[in-house]
Amino acid sequence: MSRPMETLEQRRFTVEEYHRMGEAGILAPGERVELIRGVIREMSPKRRKHVVAATKAFRVLDKALEGRATVYLEAPLGLEDLDSEPEPDIVVCSNPDVESYGTPETKALLVIELADSSLRYDMTEKAALYADARVPEYWVVNLVDRMLEVYRGPQNGAYETRLRVPCGSQVSPEAWPDVAFDVSSFFPNER
């Protein structure tokens, strides 16, 4: 006679509990983790290609949106209602005052993840999380295929539109349609 399999529940955490773990030293300073839907997840290690791409994308966006928005590199994005605090590679916020980060008058209008080993995760779980949080636009700099994955129109936990924009093409964020970027400027030079 076989025994029924036990189902074990996971202990999920709130953003506040996650912060307290950091303050108490349970999470080591500099430990590469983020809170996603109540679960503490290890983040992928950053390789050279990722670091170069993130720096290039940050510089291009920061220069183009100066005085109109603030671009943050690796900033925690508090999504308390979803028990989440991801740390996207780039967050572009509506308020050009850098001191306004994390205040109610500042909204993330564009979130960008750079992905190689985390590509599937960023295009599925992270996309669903940002859609649930109603982030209007989400980009994945797909370092594997050298393609920009553009997600727009969050509805019911998913994005209505997904565009694949190749290197050499232009892309404009919905919040700043008058600003166009060459997708190639987000990628490291091929070696």
Query: What would the pLDDT profile of 159-169 be if each residue is shown by its tens digit?
Result: 999 999 999 99
> Is residue 9 assigned to a domain?
no
What range does the domain containing 111 cover? 46-186
The predicted structure's pLDDT at residue 6:
72
Distance, C-alpha 15 to centroid of its chain: 17
> Is residue 28 assigned to a domain?
no
Give me the number of domains the chain comprises: 1
> Is residue 40 assigned to a domain?
no
> Is residue 29 assigned to a domain?
no
User: What is the C-alpha to C-alpha distance for residues 174 and 165, in angstroms, rounded to an integer?
Assistant: 15
Does 80 or 7 have the greater pLDDT score? 80
The predicted structure's pLDDT at residue 1:
56
Task: Please check the confidence at residue 16 and state whether its pLDDT lies above 60.
Answer: yes
> Is residue 3 assigned to a domain?
no
Residue 8 pLDDT level (bands cut at 50, 70, 90):
confident
Residue 10 pLDDT level (bands cut at 50, 70, 90):
confident
Q: What is the pLDDT of residues 85-130, one digit of tens each?
A: 999 999 999 989 999 988 887 899 999 999 999 999 999 999 999 9
Cβ–Cβ under 8 Å, residues 39 and 10: yes
Cβ–Cβ under 8 Å, residues 123 and 30: no
Please enumerate, as own/partner, the contacts of 40-49 that have beta carbons within 8 Å and a separation of 24 or more: 40/13, 43/87, 43/118, 44/116, 44/117, 44/118, 45/117, 47/116, 48/188, 49/116, 49/143, 49/188
Computed over every residue of the chain, the mean pLDDT equals 93
The predicted structure's pLDDT at residue 3:
66
- Nearest partner of 14 among 33, 42, 36, 29, judged by Cα: 36
> Is residue 103 assigned to a domain?
yes
CATH of the domain at 118: 3.90.1570.10
> Is residue 37 assigned to a domain?
no
> Is residue 70 assigned to a domain?
yes
